[in-house]
Amino acid sequence: MVLTIITFILVLGVLILFHELGHFIAAKKAGVLVEEFAFGFPPRIWSIKRGETRYVINAIPIGGYVKMLGELEKSDHKRAFENQSRWNRFVISIAGVVANVILAWLILTIGFIIGMAPLVSSPDAIPGKKISTEIVIAEVVKDSPADQAGLEQGGIITDASTSEGKVEFTSLNQFSKYTATHRGQTVTFDYKQDNVSSQKTLELSKDQEASLGVLAIEHSAVKVPWYKAPYVALRETYKIIELTFTFLKDFFVKLFSSGKVAEGVGGPVAIYVMTGAVVKIGFMAILQFIAILSVNLALINILPFPALDGGRILFIILEAIARKKVIKEKVEQIIHTVGFALLILLIVLITYKDIVNLFK
């Protein structure tokens, strides 16, 4: 539990740090006066001032912010955020989103160089060498030989043995052929669940379609040459963005049409639970988890909703189209404040759902 808590804080810390660092670097490059660069929300634990900026670590590690002069208040200072060109304000506003996408791409690049299972692509579509393969159980058919033997979703089958000898599985196709050709025979599978290894001996069914009774997927780690890894990681990042965008679209359609939060949507509690699960799998799984969350954070923040980066970008685009401020600063701040309140309400709703599911 302690390891899960520490990892949870580190995961959030990395995501938030990169996001806010994007805003911070863009603001500094544009010459904006950055008053404060903070990790977490108050109360304040530690701070130090370097030059014109105060660097802060706060007690609640689930957020962060870059406080720029003229961002939330009227200022005549030439270095205030509101007095910058539309282009500079646009770049500063979108920089956090870009930083999160870059973080995901960097993690996946390093992962493929070391050797990693692709998150959304088929291992066979990755131009590299398979260094390990696991057959992972995605679903168990009720009352099947697998169900009766105690095989569970998420379990890993590494090899199988009969009186004829032992076979190590190197592909899903090989596994499927093995179970099909040994129908009606007694087979012992080497099996791993939550890093606990065991052996499961069972008699395969004579059913031609489902002799074992599982839906399995191939989980192969692929090592990609360093010069190809950046492109492969970029392609994988793009596919993750596509899937995440589709999921978010379905989420909002269901939310506004039925007022219900779709299954699979989680808040801080769900992220904590998932952190505990990936910690058990290992370091590479944690890196992949950070990459997925980083893409999610990027796409959520780019939504044209008040209080999010996308909301600020929307106002800048409207201003560029009209060639003048279409909404007064005070009204815009009220809109962002109301949007922030609604955002907090949605997070509370999702967190409540997470807690209910946790107890269930």
pLDDT digits (tens, 9 = 90+) for 260-288: 655 555 556 666 667 777 777 678 888 88
The per-residue pLDDT for 10 is: 83
Q: What does the domain layout of the chain look like in residue ranges?
A: 2-121+226-359, 129-223
Tell me if 193 sits within 8 A of 156, measured CB to CB: yes
244-273 residues labelled b (16+ CB within 10 A) or e (exposed): beeebeeeeeeeeeeeebeeebbbebbbbe
For residue 207, pLDDT beyond 90: no
- The structure tokens 């963005």 sit at 241
Q: Which of 191, 198, 209, 21 is nearest to 97 (CA)?
A: 21
pTM given for the model:
0.81
129-161 burial: b if 16+ Cβ within 10 Å, else e: ebeebbbbbeebbeebbbbebebeeebbbebbe
Helices (DSSP H) in 31-154: which residue ranges? 86-114, 145-149
pLDDT, tens only, 211-247: 888 888 887 889 999 999 999 999 999 999 998 888 8
| CATH 3.40.1350.10 for the 129-223 domain, yes or no | no
Residue of 20, 71, 82, 236 with catalytic role: 20
Mean pLDDT over the full length of the chain: 83
Q: Is 20 a known active-site residue? A: yes
Other beta carbons within 10 angstroms of residue 281's beta carbon come to 14
Instruction: Report which of residues 229 and 345 the model is more confident about.
Output: 229
Q: For residue 18, how many C-alpha atoms fall within 13 Å in the half-sphere facing its CB?
A: 23
CB neighbour list of residue 122: distance below 8 Å, 6 or more residues apart: none
Given a contact cutoff of 8 angstroms between Cβ atoms, the answer to whether 34 and 27 are in contact is yes
For 22-36, 168-182, 256-270, 280-294, which range has the lowest pLDDT when averaged over its residues? Answer: 256-270
Beta bridge partners of 218: 135
pLDDT of residue 345: 66
Mean pLDDT, to the nearest integer, of 294-313?
86
pLDDT digits (tens, 9 = 90+) for 108-140: 999 999 998 888 888 888 898 888 888 888 888
Q: How far is CA 348 from CA 112, 130, 272, in A?
A: 37, 43, 15
- The pLDDT assigned to 350 comes to 56
Residue with more model confidence, 214 or 48: 48
